Amino acid sequence: MGRQNHHVVLLLDNFSGHYISYEPQNIDIQFFEPNLTSFVQPCDASIIQCLKAHYQKAFCLCAIGLDEAGEQNIYKVSILEAMLLVQEAWDAVSQETIKHCWNHTKIQSMKVQDNKALGDSKAWDILHELVASDMTLPQAETKL
């Protein structure tokens, strides 16, 4: 990043394990205020809740199917089955839900004085498009 003169902003919550003992170059680290995480992180702004709801639905449907098939332990699933259920649940989370959660946090329109990475509204528009559409990361990098 340094050789290409790229600058990024890394947003971190105030978890004590996020302590960094050196001054990174080309990375501006911004820490959230205490107890602010669930308000500004899209995954904490209902994306995880939505994912869990879809997972629980798929898990219950699986258990019902096993019960109807006469299985004894209807709640036992292998790690592979659980991973497939999570993948199915993630696929069920709509782009509209993700977009709504990003909009709820209002961080994509945040402006920080003298910070080009956060102050570039066109870059935020591209990020928003990346999150809310089927745009790929290479396509977003090209637009940036």
Question: Rounded distance, CA 75 to CA 60, Å?
Answer: 8
pLDDT at residue 42, as a whole number: 61
**DSSP alpha helices (H): ranges in the chain?**
37-40, 47-68, 79-92, 95-105, 116-119, 121-132, 137-143
**Mean pLDDT for the stretch of residues 66-74:** 93
pLDDT at 45 over 70: no
pLDDT at 63 over 80: yes
> 31 forms bridges with which residues in the sheet?
12
Please state the pTM of the whole predicted model. 0.53
pLDDT at residue 22, as a whole number: 79
CA distances 67 to 49, 58, 71, 76, 139, Å, are 27, 14, 5, 11, 46
Question: CA angle, corner 101, sides to 99 and 105, nearest 5?
Answer: 115
